[in-house]
Structures are given as structure tokens and as C-alpha cells.
Structure 1
Amino acid sequence: MSCRSLAGSSAIILAALAAASPATAQVPPPELVIEGPIDAIGANSITVMGIEINVPSGRADTPTALGVPLDSLNDPLPGRSQGFVGGTAIVTGGSTGGVVTATEVFSDVNENVVVGEVTSNNPLTVNHLPVVRSTSPVIPGSAPMNVFGFQIDEKTVAVGSLISIEGYLGSENGTRQLYYHTLEADTGEPVNRSSNEVSVTRTQCRDRADAGKDELEVQGWVHRAGLPNLTGTLPAITITYPGLTTGRRPTKTTGTATIVPVVDPASPQYAQYRYRSSNRNLDGCPLRIKVSWQGDVDSAVSEVDVDAAP
């Protein structure tokens, strides 16, 4: 038998073995990604675009709720009797022999977004589309916020101003409405306008291998009780975060930093702070950052920059 025919026979045998053993073929988690319309939902399974997916955890995430029972996504939503069925799911996981097993399931029903003009604030409409806050426990509406990071009364947003809404479109009594889970407005009075207040609108952490090379960015805003126009030099903000001492055996400690907020000339009721340091020794990422100012405290978990150079 020639070498050529032996090689050819080996290839045929290998192909036959592969065809006879489909269970050996697999896509390991989290390489598999399925995104599409939801056909059906069970206690431990979900069908997306006709693909039945095992969900051993029996849990799913939504934009404003984590780890909800998967079959609770069948429950009627405000303005949407079929729940999440017919909406969009994003599933990550793996596949063995064509059988899909999910490690994560996420859905926000349908990602309907409007960045537009407030045409009425009582009731709230955006470019004449009625907007209401979602009351569903599986996708609850988060507190409406202004761009300065403060919770607001949505009825105080200014007609004609810019607003951003994210949620799902539904219908009630024949009227289509956008049920929002996230609202951010350029205007709107803080709910706590009678108190001094500080917000955290962004925090980012870069955790590097070398000691003293970690980076931390924190920014946000402040306002005084009663929302007066701010003038002069304001008291400093105190930022605290989990840190490490340097040395052969680093120990956990609390890091601190201070920064003076600067009045925004376009909206002088507010002042902004921006803190950045590139010589921190942090206790890993993500970090819960706490910011204090004039009797008020806010906190946020930092985003992690996964693309940071070593």
C-alpha cells in the first residue's frame, strides 16, 4: 500500500469516527452566544429562535434586577400581557452535541430607546410618546435621574429639554406607552433639593501588576440645600476606597483623597469634581468608592478597564 493511499485511508477513517461521535464535538462556555426573539420560557429552559436552551440555574438577569426566577419572565408586565415572550434574549454558554447549556441569560424585553424632547411633564411625554415608569418586580424602573447624578421628580423636567429613556413599548387601554427602566434628563429638580448632596456619576479602576501603579478615576457633582447658585471656593470632597499598604506583605487599609469641586458656569447650582490618580495601590477591582461632602454620602462600584496595559 502506498503512503498516499494510507494517508487517504486514515483521513477517511478519522472523518468517519468524527461523524460517528457527535457528542465529542463541543463549544465550551462562554463561546456560544445566542441573541434573538424569545419563543418560550420554562423553569429551567428558554427557547430562542427555536433553539431550546437548558438553564441549570433557573435564573436570568434584566437591566434592573439580577437573578430573577427564569419562569417569572412569563408573568404579565404593565402594558404587555405576554411578559418577556416575544422579546429579545441574550444567552451565553456552551454546546455539546448540539445541546445548549446557558451560563447567563439576559433580557430587557425589547431595547426601546428614545433620546428626545420633553413635550409634556404631567403626564410625561417625549416627542408626544407617553412615558411611564415600569412597576414590574422583574424589570423595575430605577429612580429617574438628571445628568448631574441626582434623583429627580420626573414632573419637574422642563418642557423642551433633552431626555433619555430606555425601556419597552407596551399598550394599555389602547394607548401605546414606553415603560421605562432608565431615565436621565438634562433638567429636573433633585428630590433632596432641601439638603446638601453629592453624586458619583463615574468611577473607573485600572488594576495593574506593579505596586503603586493602579489607577483610579472618580467624578460627580454637588449641590447646596435649596439649589442656590454656587460661588467662590467650595469645601473639598473626600473620597475613600479599599487600598493596600506597600511592602513585602501588603495589608488591607482604607485609602483617602480630597478634591475641590468646580462650579459649572452653565448650571451654577451645581459644581463638578473630577479625581484621577495613577499611583494608587488598590485592593483589586472592582472597588466600592465612597464620596462624602457636607453631610451627604454617595457610593458606586467602579468600572474595570480590562484593556489597561500591564
Structure 2
Amino acid sequence: MTTLKNIAIAPALTAVGSFADAAEPTTPTTQVLHRTVKIDGLDIFYREAGPKDAPTVLLLHGFPTSSHMFRNLIPALADKHHVVAPDYPGFGSSSAPSVNDFDYTFDNLANVIEKFTETLGLEKYSIYLMDYGAPVGFRLAVRHPERVQSLIVQNGNAYDDGIDNDFWEPIKEYWKDRSKENGDGLRSFLTLDATKWQFTHGVRNVETISPDTWGHVQPLLDRPGNQEIQLALFFSYGSNPPLYPQWQEYLRKHQPPTLIAWGKNDAIFPAAGAHPYKRDLKNVDFHLLDTGHFALEEDDAVIASLIRGFLGKQLTE
């Protein structure tokens, strides 16, 4: 009987030990905090992790997601970096005033994020630029080059190269003629099928992409009034290409160390948009990844490793 008891107890003790190990709290440096700050009367939600005296990485998300796209990257960097990822107005858990109450332009998004960084006391930072994050981040960099320690570019354009494909044709028509008809033609970009396509097109294995992605994004897109917000930003995106020469001049003049980790199968910002950075930058760490638009969904570990190596080298030299 004693032997049987011991045999029965041993696995139980092992199980208890396993549960105890699994239940150990996340270390303070990598624990992700979910916070909100007031900027010009708006609630700006952000995720934050890592020691505040460590080098800061500012993560700027793309369309149609939010800081949620960085949910795995943040803890992967936070042991050695102070990581901050805000949601723009109209996205994620930030305020989403109507288009009548807030001017949804990229200039205005950049204004909000600039004030956000100042409110949080972020004096110097590296910027992760992805999709919409590129026009927001480059505006910040041009305004305050002294604050930018390095750039991490993931499927975010600063050149005309790559935005001449079929995807952009109806959007460019909207830039030329902001008619109701042209706007209504873009509403198909805001459907569940379109959102799924953004997450799954060009990936190696669609089974690695969690439905939690579009499960998070689509209900936010479907909020009353949010389509009008997105249409306003589709139109405002037309303000970005005329600024490309200014952004390129910033790169040539200030030569920020830059890591490019680009999903090469992206149909929105294809690899053609990645190569021109090498024309203007002397210090560029260049990687094309065999994945799609939201490269972090399939290659988060790869990108985290690239960032850690890149920042470890650049910020200690």
C-alpha cells in the first residue's frame, strides 16, 4: 500500500511543481502594462514594458490594426529596452471621435503621437515603422531628428517604388476625386474578407496565423462611424508621397542606423519599396523575409532577434 501511495504521490508532486513553475509571475521588466493617457482631450491607449531607463523603442502600428500587432514583440524586447506602443485615434482602444469632431489626417495623427511622446517624457527613441506607422514616424523624425536613435522599417514606404500596383489604383483615384462614389468603392477594403486577406496573403503557412488577429480588428472597423474614419485616412494617405523627397533628405542628412525587416510577399507594400532605402542610407541592415504584410504574425521571433542584435550593436557603439 505504501508503495502504491508513493507511486501515486510522485506524479502529483511533479505536476504541482510544473504548475508552480508555470505560475511564476512574469518578471517586472517583461510584463506588459496597458495604459491610457489624455492627449488633447483624447484617451490614447498604449502598451508599455521594460525599464524606463533603458533605450526606448517606439512601435507605430499599421492599418487596420493597433498596438495589438506588437503583443508578442513587446515582451521579447522588454528585458533590455523600454518598449512603448500607442494606438492612434480611431484605432484599437484609443478614443475614436467622429470625423466631424477630429480631423483624421496623417499630419494630425503625427501631432497626437508627438504630444504622446512628450507627455511620456520620451526624449530619445528608436522607431518601428510599419504601414501607417511610416508616415507618422517619418513626420516625427523630420521634426525632431535629434530624438531618433535608429529606425526599424517593416513594410513602410518612403519612396514611390512599390505603390504603383493594382492595389493602389482605386485609392489613387480617391486622392484625385474625393467623391462619394470613389469612397464607397473603397469600403470593400474594410470588410472581414479584406482584413483576413491582409493577415494571410503571402504567408508561408496560413495555419500559423491566428484568427484572433482579424477577430480583434474587424469589430473595431465595424464600429458605427469607423468606416468614415478609415476613408478619411485613405484620402489623407495621398499627402504622403509628396513628402517622400523630404523624408529621403532626412535619411541622407542624418543617416539614422536602420534595420529593414520586410515581408517580401506583401501585395500592399511589396519588396520594391524596401530596396530604395539602400540608396540613401550608409548604415542599413537589410532583410527580406518570406512572409506577407503583417510579418510579425509569422516571423515575430525572427524579427525580435534581428532587432535585439541591431539595437545591441547600434546603441552601444
The TM-score, its normalising length taken from structure 2, stands at 0.26
Structure with bigger gyration radius: 1
Q: Which has the higher contact order (CA 8 A, sep 6+)?
A: 2
More helix by share: 2
Looking at secondary structure, tell me which structure has more strand per residue. Answer: 1
